[in-house]
Amino acid sequence: MMDSTILIHAGQEFVKLFGELFLLFVGISFVVALLQVYISPARVRQILSTPKRSVNSVLGAILGAITPFCSCSTIPMLTGLIRSGAPFCGVVSFLLASPVLNPAIITLFVAFFGLKATLLYGTFVFSLAVIVGLLLDSLGFVKEVKASAQVGCGCNGGRTAWENLSGTFWVKQRQAISIAVNNSGGLFRHVLPYLLLGAALGAFIHEVIPEGLLESFIGADSFWAIPLAAVIGIPMYIRTETMIPVASILMTKGVAPGVVIALILGGAGASLPEISLLSSMFTKKMIAAFLASVFTVAIVTGCVFNLTM
């Protein structure tokens, strides 16, 4: 039977972790809801209409980084982007950046890992998303898009966009804030179970798993640890909001930072639900290329973290 002292300490750690996450997400949920009013799918398609490949790929990664869309709303947006004539490189860069770079993830990174780690993470993930987009476009993977791609998602279909509001700028601004306040409650309720799970797992690992045990298996000196973490992460459906607090605890237990980053990127960048949706849009060859891209981004970023952190 588990010692009652351990349970008490685990409970205290859970309250601490969840308290931090709760305060962060009260603000984040409002900002995310407000961004979803300002940055609609139609606006994204309009921005990505430039014919210049390099500029389009950068814009795609930027939009992926700032738009707080979940994977089920990112995927059907890709259909609209492709049908609207947006260059393929921008579409791929958007696809890679969107699930692993957004306001919530960046805020959590700053809170749990600090500014240096956040800048390192953001810079490498963003740069690799741009490079992969340009590379797959150059290799002709645009031919691997199914002509009859049709994906549906109901998670944000009825959300009001900025361009649909009426009145003066300040009247529209008040409307946008009102909509964001109403929507942020639903957004926070959607994320809440993952925050609870992340805090609970983090508290359990912090109190139950002995110091050094994880380090002996997946420490910084294990050359296979980063690729293994990326491989394990890819078939897992890891919400980044769940994984980041767990990751901070894993690092205190001796797990190398690069291993943790590879696990986060593998799980968030290519979850099974996302792959299932992508399969309705892309051929198997493109799916394989996408998985290889996520795997590469996870390994490269993980190795950079181990060398610099």
Residue 262 lies in a domain: yes
3-class SS string, the chain: CCCHHHHHHHHHHHHHHHHHHHHHHHHHHHHHHHHHHHCCHHHHHHHCCCCCHHHHHHHHHHHHHHCCCCHHHHHHHHHHHHHCCCCHHHHHHHHHHCCCCCHHHHHHHHHHHCHHHHHHHHHHHHHHHHHHHHHHHHCCHHHHECCCCCCCCCCCCCCCCHHHCCCCHHHHHHHHHHHHHHHHHHHHHHHHHHHHHHHHHHHHHHHHCCCCHHHHHHCCCCCCHHHHHHHHHCCCCCCHHHHHHHHHHHHHCCCCHHHHHHHHHHHHHCCHHHHHHHCCCECHHHHHHHHHHHHHHHHHHHHHHHHHC
Cα separation of 98 and 86, whole Å? 16
230's tokens: 């990326």
155 CB-near residues (< 8 Å, 6+ apart):
70, 72, 73
How many domains are contained in the chain? 1
User: Per-residue pLDDT tens for 178-196?
Assistant: 888 887 777 677 667 766 7
Cα separation of 198 and 215, whole Å? 21
Does residue 45 surpass a pLDDT of 50? yes
17 CB-near residues (< 8 Å, 6+ apart):
198, 199, 202, 203, 245
Q: The pTM is what?
A: 0.69
What is the extent of the structural domain holding 288?
14-308
Q: How confident is the model at residue 155 (pLDDT cuts 50, 70, 90)?
A: very low
Residue 86 lies in a domain: yes
pLDDT higher at 299 or 14? 299
Does residue 29 surpass a pLDDT of 80? no
**Confidence at residue 156, expressed as pLDDT on a 0 to 100 scale:** 46
Cα separation of 270 and 81, whole Å? 20
pLDDT higher at 69 or 256? 256
Residue 111 lies in a domain: yes
Residue (of 51, 139, 75, 66) closest to 97 by Cα position: 66
User: Per-residue pLDDT tens for 88-140?
Assistant: 898 899 888 887 887 777 877 887 788 988 898 899 889 999 999 999 999 99
User: Per-residue pLDDT tens for 263-300?
Assistant: 888 877 776 667 776 887 889 999 999 999 988 988 88
Residue 7 lies in a domain: no
Residue 266 lies in a domain: yes
**Confidence at residue 140, expressed as pLDDT on a 0 to 100 scale:** 92
Interior angle at CA 115, CA 113 and CA 121, nearest 5: 75
Residue (of 111, 100, 89) closest to 234 by Cα position: 100
Residue 18 lies in a domain: yes
257's tokens: 């930072």
**Confidence at residue 138, expressed as pLDDT on a 0 to 100 scale:** 93
CB 115 within 8 A of CB 272: no
Mean pLDDT score of the chain, rounded to an integer?
76
Residue 9 lies in a domain: no
Residue 271 lies in a domain: yes
48 CB-near residues (< 8 Å, 6+ apart):
56, 59, 60, 63, 81, 84, 86, 87, 90, 91, 94
User: Per-residue pLDDT tens for 202-251?
Assistant: 677 666 665 555 555 555 556 688 888 888 776 665 566 667 777 777 77
